[in-house]
Amino acid sequence: MLAVSAPKPARRRGPASDVTRLLPRPLLVAVIAVLLTVVLGPVLYMVFSSVNSDVSVASGAFFPTELHLDNYLKVWSTVDLGTGLMNSVIICSGVAVVCAFLAVATAYVLVRYEFRGRLTFLRGLLGLQSIPGTLMLLPVFVLFSSIATALGVQIIGTRTAVFITYLTFALPFSTWVMVTYLRGLPKALEEAARIDGASSWRILTQIVIPLSWPGIVVSGIFAFLLGWNDVLFASVLTNPETRTAAVALQVFAASQEGGAVPIYGQMMAASLICAVPVVVLYLVFQRYLIGGLTSGGVK
């Protein structure tokens, strides 16, 4: 009698095998190489230019002909970079923390409670994202000027003006991110806590927030980057004492126009210094970012 062997279970293909199946390996390597070149090319150019001489950079040299590591020291006296970085960290960190926790509280109400106007509010969050920030510059400036005239409190030129502006623009998107995330959390835990007599505030602080850290980190980092990269509003709503790092770089670059040879080395060094906090932020919260961005993708 012939022995019949049991059929082997089929191997499940993962995402990596699917990509390999769709693209031949040589083509996949070529695509990855092109993407890395496009992404890392400008970064490497900035790194090499930051330690190169200004004349060499102006002549188009990619690799440094001689090392000028002192560019990273001179930039602190040439540009008011220390004050700009301090203002950016204070404003953007405050916006990230406040925006993240306001977003999770607002999203919890929108997801777990039924009330009139709920869907209209959710649609409004998406609609606010389609309004260009450039159109809001003049209304925001007029609003702050009117408040200063009516109350006698100067707002323009302070960190408070920039903080309120960034918080207003970041909160709708952060709230929508948290709405999407909270929809994936099981209601059983909240119902069990409510049976045990927990209030809504206790459920929010002791159950929802601890389970929502990936979404909170995503919304907070978005709010942080919105303020860190902004130049338009910060250049109008700040003064030399409260200007952010992005505005300090803009002023520094504008002051070099019309000169014989701009100090490209210090400009690139200052740009890399301003990019360090964002890179560190991504590295520290990378695990939460991946979990927050992929939540809700698989049901």
Look at residue 96 in the predicted model and tell me its pLDDT.
92
Residue 276 in this model has a pLDDT that exceeds 80: yes
Average pLDDT over residues 152-177: 88
Q: How distant, in Å, are the alpha carbons of 154, 166, 244, 292 from that of 157?
A: 8, 15, 11, 35
Residue 240 in this model has a pLDDT that exceeds 80: yes
Q: CB of 273 within 8 A of CB of 72?
A: yes
Residue 293 CB coordination number (10 Å): 15
Q: What is the pLDDT of residues 40-98, one digit of tens each?
A: 888 888 888 888 887 888 887 888 877 888 888 888 888 888 888 999 999 999 999 99
Assign 297 a pLDDT band (cuts: 50, 70, 90).
very low
Q: Show Cβ contacts of residue 84 under 8 Å, excluding neighbours closer than 6 positions.
A: 243, 244, 245, 246, 247, 248, 249
Q: Show Cβ contacts of residue 220 under 8 Å, excluding neighbours closer than 6 positions.
A: 96, 97, 99, 100, 174
Assign 111 a pLDDT band (cuts: 50, 70, 90).
confident
Tokens of 243: 């200007």
Q: Three-state DSSP class for 8?
A: coil
Helix (H) and strand (E) counts in the chain: 16, 0
Average pLDDT over residues 240-251: 87
Hey, what domains does the chain have and what are their CATH numbers?
40-69 (no CATH), 72-294 (1.10.3720.10)
Look at residue 163 in the predicted model and tell me its pLDDT.
92
Q: DSSP alpha helices (H): ranges in the chain?
A: 15-22, 25-50, 54-58, 71-78, 81-112, 118-128, 137-151, 159-182, 188-195, 200-203, 209-211, 213-229, 232-237, 245-255, 264-284, 286-294
Look at residue 156 in the predicted model and tell me its pLDDT.
87
Look at residue 196 in the predicted model and tell me its pLDDT.
81
Q: Show Cβ contacts of residue 274 under 8 Å, excluding neighbours closer than 6 positions.
A: 81, 85, 88, 245, 246, 249
Predicted TM-score of the model (pTM): 0.79
Residue 181 in this model has a pLDDT that exceeds 90: no
* Range of weakest confidence among 1-10, 109-118, 213-222, 287-296: 1-10
Q: For the chain, what is the mean pLDDT? A: 81
